[in-house]
Amino acid sequence: MKKRLLMYLVPLLSTLLFVVLQLKDPLIIREHLESKTYDLRLRLRNLIKEQPPVKDIVIVAIDDKSLNEIGRWPWGRDVMADLTNKISDAGPKVIGIDVMFTERESLERDNKLAEAIKKAGNVVLATAFDVPHTGKALAPPEDVPDFLWDSAFMEVRSQKGIKWKDFAVKAEKVMPALTEISTVVAALGHVYTLPDMDGSQRWDILSIFYGEDCYPQFALQIARIALGIPMKDMVLYGGSGIGLGNAFIPTDLYGRAVINYRGKEGSFPYISASDVIKDRVPSDVLKDKLILVGASALATYDQKVTPFSANMPGVEKNANVVENILLNNFIRKSPGVIELAVIILTGILLGLTLPRLKAVSSASLAVSFIFFYILICCYLLIYHNLWANLLYPVANMFGIFVALTVIRFVHEEKKAREIRQMFSSYVSPKIVKELIDNPDKARLGGERRVVTILFSDIIGFTSLSERRQPEDVVSLLNEYFKEMADIIFKWDGTLDKFIGDEIMALWSAPIEQPNHAELALRCALDMSDRLTKLQEEWRKRGSDVLDVGIGINTGEVLIGNIGAPGKKMDYTVIGDHVNLAARVEKLTRQYSTRILITENTVEYIEPIIKKGLFGHLELRELASAKVKGKEKEVKIFGIINYSHI
């Protein structure tokens, strides 16, 4: 009863636990464990599904080649002005410069760069915002540059029921480029990033709160200008998404979106900045393109860890975000409804089904459920850009299966231990093993069954015990009992008990044996044969010689654990047929024969004897006997002319 209750209680508790985890979604689990399963699914996607070719996005990289040809980094503002002019002359849709110009170099060179940016008219410049991680409330900034307001969202709409300002990423200060540069750019965009706890950059923050305004991300500004959408038509819907013209880009409460990376670094076309400066790039390569300028040379760039790589330049991360905005194909995070339904449904189904199944069937069902859900999660991500939580539903299904398997194993081990303790002194190791392998065969609660009972008693034991020392009697008995017990086990009998100098054995319990009568008779013949050899050994050493009488009967008895619960219990049989077997054994003295069997047993073995399967063996009817309280007498047969087995 306890086992059954536990088998249903554990799945319930497990399901409740994972429902709570799914609802709370602890950050440490999501960003250390679940995110790893997401990374694997992304990589699987790129193995089985080819990514479409990149359209219109080109990275002009300040790479190792450029440093070798132009000089060490950082380059002078005049070099950056030259690079900007060369790109602008090719006619790109937008130029995103992922380089900070926060410190003055010289008025002349700074103005030269500002003039190049102004002339281009479509430059988006990366701007650094400092976001504290203390969690303390931020005081409003004292002085916000006027030019910064020009790049803020012009329209911010609060969604009913969403206090998005409580969740928005808030900066405490900004580090824009020099004023003469910042005032001539087409737009400024923040480049603040916050990796997950494992260091991987899976999300990008599309809006940041500073002072009383919200500012768009660098890639968002690039995409807006490339699409020709004015600032007034880019609307921030606090806590739910961003309206970009007619498109809507969903975000979470923090203004974040999951980046849909194309792959590892190098997934976008790269052009060396030195090739642009030295006019080695045809103008049509850059014409009408979205150009992102950034460093990729060793030790010069903002290195990002992504699901595909630990070495992606920040400029290529931004290129991925730009493409996601243009295609509106960010990875969407499931709100959790699917996962909750799966956790509850699979928890109920497995909790009700697994306790009723065998081990192999249980494992097959659990593995099928888990495999099917993993396939669904992979399909949703690969073909629908939907990140469904894989960890909690799978962990719940696996946990239920493992827990129930352990409970079943512990219960079966306990049951096997009980069976071994109960029967190891009664039956042969072969029978014990079969009982452990098939515990249902051990019916311990009591039942009626047809068995064959054998009683063996030493003739004249009372006089022997009176004339010999107790130590000698016990030694002789132990020698005799050991030999007889070995023979009973040899013939798969159950050694029920020793009663003084008497042995009681039975067949077809605890395991049913269709040939129980045959086994009992063969055992009796073997015991008789072994006793004859023992008698010869005893005579040779001058010891007392024992002789026995053996009685066998077959019939229906009550079998089970009988005794005082909690104190002394014995697995035994009771009933008239047991009494008859004991009475028949006593008649061996009267008829001077070692083995007597009843007609009940003869009914089972006579066909076998007639076929000659016992060798030279004959039955002779000797008498009739009846049990006290019974009117009908039972015929008794002696065994004569038998040979060695």
Choice between 407 and 530, residue whose per-residue pLDDT is larger? 530
Distance CA 521, CA 617 (A): 11
Q: What is the pLDDT of residue 163?
A: 82
Say what the pLDDT of residue 542 is.
Answer: 84
Q: What is this structure's pTM?
A: 0.71
pLDDT digits (tens, 9 = 90+) for 158-186: 877 778 888 889 998 898 889 999 999 99
CB 151 within 8 A of CB 189: yes
DSSP string computed for 143-165? ---HHHHTTS-SEEEEPTT--GG
What is the rounded distance in angstroms from the CA atom of residue 601 to the CA atom of residue 615? 18
> Does the pLDDT of residue 427 top 60, yes or no?
no
Average pLDDT over residues 556-569: 72
pLDDT at 644: 45
Residue 501 pLDDT exceeds 70? yes
* pLDDT single digits (tens) 29-67: 998 999 999 999 999 999 998 888 888 999 999 999 999
Taking CA atoms, 589 is separated from 249, 281, 444, 553, 640, in Å, by 104, 121, 36, 17, 15
Q: State the DSSP code for 287.
A: T
- Domains, the chain, in order of start with CATH, read 2-21+335-392 (no CATH), 51-134+174-202+216-229+260-330 (no CATH), 438-640 (3.30.70.1230)
Query: For 578, phi and psi rounded to 5 degrees?
Result: -70, -45
What pLDDT is attached to residue 559? 81
Tokens of 123: 């430059």
Give the Cα separation of 141 and 257 in Å (integer). Answer: 27
Helix, strand, or coil (residue 108): helix
Which position has the higher pLDDT, 352 or 142? Answer: 352
- How sure is the predictor about 500, in pLDDT bands with cuts at 50, 70 and 90? confident
* Average pLDDT over every residue of 400-407: 90
The rounded distance, in Å, linking the Cα atoms of 454 and 493 is 10
What's the mean pLDDT in 255-264?
Answer: 95
Query: What are the pLDDT digits (tens) for 348-374?
Result: 999 999 988 888 899 999 999 999 999
Query: Is residue 295 within 8 Å of 272, Cβ to Cβ?
Result: no
- Mind listing the pLDDT tens digit for each residue in 178-226? 999 999 999 999 999 999 999 999 999 999 999 889 999 999 999 999 9
Q: What pLDDT score does 591 carry?
A: 87
Please report which confidence band the pLDDT of residue 645 belongs to, taking 50, 70 and 90 as the band edges: very low
How far apart are alpha carbons 426 and 489 in whole angstroms?
A: 8
Q: What is the mean pLDDT of residues 338-347?
A: 95
Q: What mean pLDDT comes out for the span 573-578?
A: 90
pLDDT reported for residue 283: 86
Assess whether pLDDT exceeds 90 at residue 301.
no
Per-residue tokens: 501: 């100098």
Which tokens go with 440? 């249902």
The conformation of residue 292, written as its DSSP 8-state character, comes to E
- pLDDT score of 149: 87
Task: Extract the tokens encoding 67.
Answer: 């440093």
Q: Which two tokens stand for residue 418?
A: 């009980």
Q: How confident is the model at residue 132 (pLDDT cuts 50, 70, 90)?
A: confident
The CA–CA distances, whole Å, from 266 to 329, 444, 497 equal 20, 72, 83
Instruction: Tell me: pLDDT of 548 over 80.
Output: yes
Q: Are 314 and 303 in contact (CB under 8 A)?
A: yes
Cβ atoms 170, 209 nearer than 8 A:
yes
Cα–Cα nearest to 573, from 497, 631, 492: 497
Q: Give residue 429's pLDDT band: very low, low, confident or very high (50, 70, 90).
A: low
pLDDT at 534: 93
Confidence tier at 611 by pLDDT (50, 70, 90): confident
In angstroms, rounded to a whole number, what is the distance separating the alpha carbons of residues 404 and 351?
9
Residue at token pair 């281009």:
120
φ and ψ of 362, to 5 deg? -65, -45
| For range 474-497, the mean pLDDT | 90
Range with the poorest average pLDDT among 124-128, 160-164, 182-186, 429-433: 429-433
Taking 50 as the threshold, does the pLDDT of residue 495 lie above it?
yes
pLDDT reported for residue 442: 54
Q: Higher confidence at residue 530 or residue 145? A: 530
Grade residue 417 by pLDDT with cuts at 50, 70 and 90: low
Name the nearest CA neighbour of 550 among 506, 503, 497: 503
| The residue to which tokens 């969202």 are assigned | 153
Question: What pLDDT is attached to residue 50?
Answer: 87
Tokens read off for 273: 């900045």
- Mean of the per-residue pLDDT values of the chain: 88
Q: What whole-number distance in Å separates Cα of residue 459 and Cα of residue 578?
A: 20
Q: Which of 94-98, 232-236, 249-253, 563-567 has the lowest mean pLDDT?
A: 563-567
CA 493, CA 497: separation in Å to the nearest integer? 12
